[in-house]
A and B are shown apart, each in its own frame.
Chain A
Amino acid sequence: MKLKGWRELTPGAVILEAGNAVEFKTGSWRSFRPVWKEENCIQCLFCWLYCPDMAIKVKDGKREEFDYDYCKGCGICALECPGKKGNKAIIMVEEGK
């Protein structure tokens, strides 16, 4: 995205367009990446409920892959995940590994 010059800015840094947070991809902040193990997932949707962003995609009542453009790797989903028979459906993996 081309950065604007000082003449093109709104006075006082006021943001005029609603809902533009979607343009700001925050996934690059992540140092740990959640990995979804579908075989251990019971589709309880706790991860979707607890995610402080909207990084768990859900379609027809079922969770799908993470939205890594916005997931900051907080790990709340992995903590809350009940998994199946003691095996977590979400595990945190260090980025870069």
Chain B
Amino acid sequence: MAKIVAATGNEAVANALMQANPDVSAAYPITPATDIMQRFTSFVSNATVKTEMILVESEHSAMSACIGASAAGGRVMTATSSQGLALMWEMLFIASGLRLPIVMPVVNRALSAPLNIHGDHSDAMGARDTGWIQLWSENAQEAYDNTIQSFLIGEHMDIRLPVMVCLDGFIISHSIERIEYLEDAEVKNFIGEFRQLNPLLDIEHPVSYGPLILPDYYMEFRKAQDEVESKVFRVVLDVAKDFEKISGRKYGLFETYRLDDAEIGLVILNSAAGTSKDVIDEFRNRGIKAGLLKPRLYRPFPYNEIGEALKHLKAVCVLDRADAFGGSYGPLFIDISTSLYTYSKKPILINKIYGLGGRDYLPEHAELVLNELTEIAKTEKVKTIKEYIGVRG
């Protein structure tokens, strides 16, 4: 039986982590993720969870402690944002390279400088090639559901990779929504016991983590890791199917909204997808065939499936809440164009950068973009491929 509550995104994620009841967590506070670990440490203090909580002096140490605890053989999680994620940078590759299934909610926030604490995808986008699985969440419910599923995905014996669960800072992390919580027992049963793989604390079978791998073997380990990435898609879909049985909520690699017969479409991540869907309904009411695609599994990126879902459109705008400086286009745009490049017939693509540092993404922004796409679909002419929107001139 689901329990319906009014809660913030952070509260929902903390509740999912409590239900997962990890063995160890090491964390350092950072806005806007602080709230998750603050709530979680209350569960520790109240003995609601059996987790050993390690308070450390930095995010670099938080991730290091998580790596050690995971290699030792425990179920491990932490949470962070922005500069905290940036400080973990070096250790992120070690967690994925050692194939340790650590779960980490990332409450997306802009990067400094200039210093800013608000919602923006620059942090997680910077970590997109670290070998972590990334699940992105539109709202608090999705953040809760993704957090629960992330344990099963990362811990799957064919995968053994760390997972980031992304949710928008403040817009989702600090806003109250209606959420359906699963029963504690249901989640416990769904996630199951943590299965170890070569734990350091198995003293009957001593193992060694983190050896030096020279040119004669390094490339083979990288190839093996690349191969694991290709198995993630199936596992994400299998876990989603099982999750639907207990929750009634359906998840895929990405979500499509009125896309099947669409001629123009938006591709957008996280909370701004919700706003966009409302505007798409308005356009549909006016007889304009608009649709939307919202990636959920962003790493590994389902290039083939997304290419198939978008190839029939006439014009598509990819909206990025992060810029890739020097890469000329936003990170999501680069991935979407890669998804489509093998097709001879494909939509005209444009890229808009929006909402940086918590700048509001309003229905009028979606409307502006959809009007431009309507025009492009008609004339097949593009004025500017990449443009900042909602910015003063």
Q: Is B57's CB within 8 Å of the partner chain A?
A: no
A15: B residues at CB distance < 8 A: 207-209, 211
A7: B residues at CB distance < 8 A: 224
- B197-237 vs A, CB cutoff 8 Å, 1 = contact: the mask equals 11000000111111101001101110110011000000000
The minimal Cβ–Cβ distance linking A14 to chain B, given in whole angstroms, is 5
Nearest 3 Cβ contacts at the A-B interface: A12-B99, A6-B220, A15-B208
The minimal Cβ–Cβ distance linking B64 to chain A, given in whole angstroms, is 16
B211: A residues at CB distance < 8 A: 13, 15
In whole angstroms, how far apart are the Cα atoms of A51 and B216 in the complex? Answer: 29
- Mostly, the B contact residues are loop
The answer to whether A12 and B100 touch across the interface, beta carbons within 8 angstroms, is yes
Q: Is B296's CB within 8 Å of the partner chain A?
A: no
Within 8 A of A (CB), among B239-291: none
B207: A residues at CB distance < 8 A: 14-16, 18
In whole angstroms, how far apart are the Cα atoms of A33 and B202 in the complex? Answer: 41
Q: Is A97's CB within 8 Å of the partner chain B?
A: no
Q: Is A59's CB within 8 Å of the partner chain B?
A: no
Q: Is A4's CB within 8 Å of the partner chain B?
A: yes
The answer to whether A13 and B213 touch across the interface, beta carbons within 8 angstroms, is yes
Given A3-B216, A14-B98, A9 contacting B221 (CB threshold 8 A):
yes
Q: Is the interface on chain B under 10, 10 to 19, 20 to 34, or 35 or more residues?
A: 20 to 34
The answer to whether A6 and B205 touch across the interface, beta carbons within 8 angstroms, is no
The answer to whether A12 and B220 touch across the interface, beta carbons within 8 angstroms, is no
Given A11-B197, A12-B99, A3 contacting B206 (CB threshold 8 A):
no
B206: A residues at CB distance < 8 A: 18
- A1-36 vs B, CB cutoff 8 Å, 1 = contact: the mask equals 001111101111111101000000000000000000
In whole angstroms, how far apart are the Cα atoms of A6 and B205 in the complex? Answer: 23
In whole angstroms, how far apart are the Cα atoms of A16 and B197 in the complex? Answer: 11
Q: Is B68's CB within 8 Å of the partner chain A?
A: no
- B93-112 vs A, CB cutoff 8 Å, 1 = contact: the mask equals 00001111000000000000
B209 and chain A: residue at smallest CB distance: A14
The answer to whether B223 and A6 touch across the interface, beta carbons within 8 angstroms, is yes
The answer to whether A13 and B97 touch across the interface, beta carbons within 8 angstroms, is yes
